[in-house]
Structure 1
Amino acid sequence: MFFRKCMARLGEANIPVYFIRGNHDAASLITRELRLPDNVFEFSVSEPETKFLEDIGVAIHGQGFAMRDVRENLARSYPARPRLFQYRALAHSCARASLPRSVRPLSHRRSPPQGL
């Protein structure tokens, strides 16, 4: 598969990859069987996770879609920003109100979780 091949090329260059699944590659679809190279970290679809990159002082939060149609705001349960770390949050969404609710689970009308 093309995606796996690209991730492997990044791994050959010692580049780590951190990703979340969205509505087109949700864990409930066929891509859940895709075996990824060791340089790829996939965030959980059941709860938010944090990956700490201690050597560069970065914390990355994320949670992927378990199903194609996610209606809740997953970022609401992301933890607060860790002290002493730069913070990055991965979220799959589209804030355009004209799109179906299933592809915009992060509302642009609501404030983000504390610390985001």
Structure 2
Amino acid sequence: MIQRGLIEGEAPNYTISLGVAKASRQLPQYTKAKGLDKARLKQMVLPLLQNAGKDGARREIIYDYLKDLLPSNKSQEQQLRYLGKLLVEMNEEGTIERIGLRWLLSSPSDRKQP
């Protein structure tokens, strides 16, 4: 099925492929199951942390904000792990920083230059 392009994903979390979703008019369900891509999720985190200011936000707050945009075919635990990896990636890029259990926007002087 995967080789024929009918499904995608990894066991046990298979979903129909994009081509099948388009042909069967299931594009909204497909998109919800896949969630937003990383770049869009990162862009959504930034205004939340900007609004949080110097107090920052815990991962659980960020999760509550993004949970409807994360892949719906994953368990809550898997979504939290995915979000944690996303936040660490943003930290490594220098856009956010972690202080204790809170995430904050990096100050412009702290940001890594490409």
TM range (shorter): under 0.3
Which structure has the larger Rg? 2
Q: Which has the higher helix share?
A: 2
TM-score normalised by length of structure 1: 0.28
TM-score by length of 2: 0.28
